Amino acid sequence: MAATIRDVARASGVHVSTVSRTFSAPHLVNTETRNRVLAAAEDLGYRPNRAARALTTGRTHNLGLIVADIANPFFPPLIKSAQAHARERDYHVFVADTDEDPLVEEELIQTLTKQVDGVLLCSPRLSNRAIERLGADVPFVVVNRRVKGMSTVLMDVGHGARLAVAHLASLGHRRIGLVAGPSGSWTSGEMREAAAATAREAGLDLSILGPNPPTEQGGLAAAGDVVKAGVTGVLAYNDMVAIGLIEGLYERGLRVPGDVSVIGVDDIVPGRLNRPKLTTVAMPTSAAGRTAVDLLLQAVGAKDAATPALTTLETSLVVRESTAPPPSIERSS
């Protein structure tokens, strides 16, 4: 027979209400008593009934995590770190995938907010106005989008784009392209602004190509635009787009990096395994998952409306095999 809350109370020498408080509001129980109750619960194999606790505390101890495309290798490290970090704090995480569809995203948010204490939105496709409206009932934390009144975790993709363009300039590229992401994407907008500013400062000719789907197929389709633009170096919206672009360029008889240098964003595992190994902007996805959970639990635990917090995480350039000097420099050296 499974141990009950009364068994734990008897074994630890406290009242049933103290056991309940140890699991629902541990900060209200002194350290010695709390440790004694937890030790007794561990010995007896007791696990609190989450549904009953939700009725008592008004909290489900569940969080929602909504991502744009769970098939994109960018998201699993973020999901895994968020789940592990939440579990350490006695929270469970429900993960949902919008498949890059804002209508699906809105439907999922409306469903999850009835079952969770807070929601993490990662690279959302909805408008800011829609997110503000949907976030009126439970706390939200948004990853890679600025939304008024909501705590935010940003990965500094603008800094990464500047590093990428500067790297191409240092290799001698003068005509470069940015294969942009989806229309309305915050990340794509940040990349465009940073790449344009850096290209101006370096005296480079920058072509904006897109918008494009944030997938391998999107990169494959963009290869024709890259060829038409006559660029020798390209920064792609993400690694999946970059991998598709490299394949599309090979189909057109162009070598990477011999004819065209390609840089991605994210530093996903496939980019490290493909040939050529992909030069990329590394994004701190695991750190973003942990930070987002911390901010969300702060908002959930606040007695009054929490002051929105902004955390920006650093990005870095990882140089591998997909970038080299342009053909004219190679031939003259």
Whether the pLDDT of residue 331 is over 70: the answer is no
Q: What is the pLDDT of residues 95-130, one digit of tens each?
A: 999 999 999 999 999 999 888 999 999 999 999 999
Q: Which amino acid is at 51?
A: A
Q: Do 234 and 185 sit in the same domain of this protein?
A: yes
Q: What is the CATH number of the domain that holds 42?
A: 1.10.260.40
**Chain-centre distance of CA 330, in angstroms?**
38
Angle at the Cα of 177 (from 174 to 182), degrees rounded to 5?
160
Q: What is the CATH number of the domain that holds 238?
A: 3.40.50.2300
Q: Do 326 and 197 sit in the same domain of this protein?
A: yes
Whether the pLDDT of residue 332 is over 90: the answer is no
Percent of the chain with pLDDT over 70: 92
pLDDT band at 55 (very low <50, low <70, confident <90, very high): very low
The answer to whether 264 touches 281, Cβ cutoff 8 Å, is: yes
Q: What is the pLDDT of residue 263?
A: 98
Residue 117's domain spans which residues? Answer: 62-155+284-314
Adjacency order of strands within the sheet including 62-67 = 92-97, 62-67, 118-122, 140-143, 151-155, 310-313
Which stretch of DSSP H or E encloses residue 121?
strand 118-122
| Residue 332 burial (10 A CB sphere; 0-12, 13-18, 19+) | exposed
Tell which of 42, 57, 72 closes a domain. 57
What is the total count of domains within the chain?
3
Q: What is the dihedral of CA 245, 247, 251, 257, to 10 degrees?
A: 80
pLDDT band at 73 (very low <50, low <70, confident <90, very high): very high
Residue 210 DSSP label = -
What mean pLDDT is reported for the chain? 91
DSSP string covering 54-116, please?
Answer: HHHHS---EEEEEES-TTSTTHHHHHHHHHHHHHHTT-EEEEEE-TT-HHHHHHHHHHHTTT-
Q: What is the pLDDT of residues 197-230, one digit of tens each?
A: 999 999 999 999 999 999 999 999 999 999 999 9
Q: Which of 51-55, 148-152, 178-182 has the highest mean pLDDT?
A: 178-182
This prediction's pTM:
0.81
Kindly calculate the radius of gyration of the chain based on its CA atoms and give it in whole angstroms: 24
Whether the pLDDT of residue 333 is over 50: the answer is no
Q: Do 143 and 223 sit in the same domain of this protein?
A: no
Q: What is the pLDDT of residues 245-280, one digit of tens each?
A: 999 999 999 999 999 999 999 999 999 998 999 999
Whether the pLDDT of residue 320 is over 50: the answer is yes
Q: What is the pLDDT of residue 21?
A: 77
Q: Which amino acid is at 63?
A: L
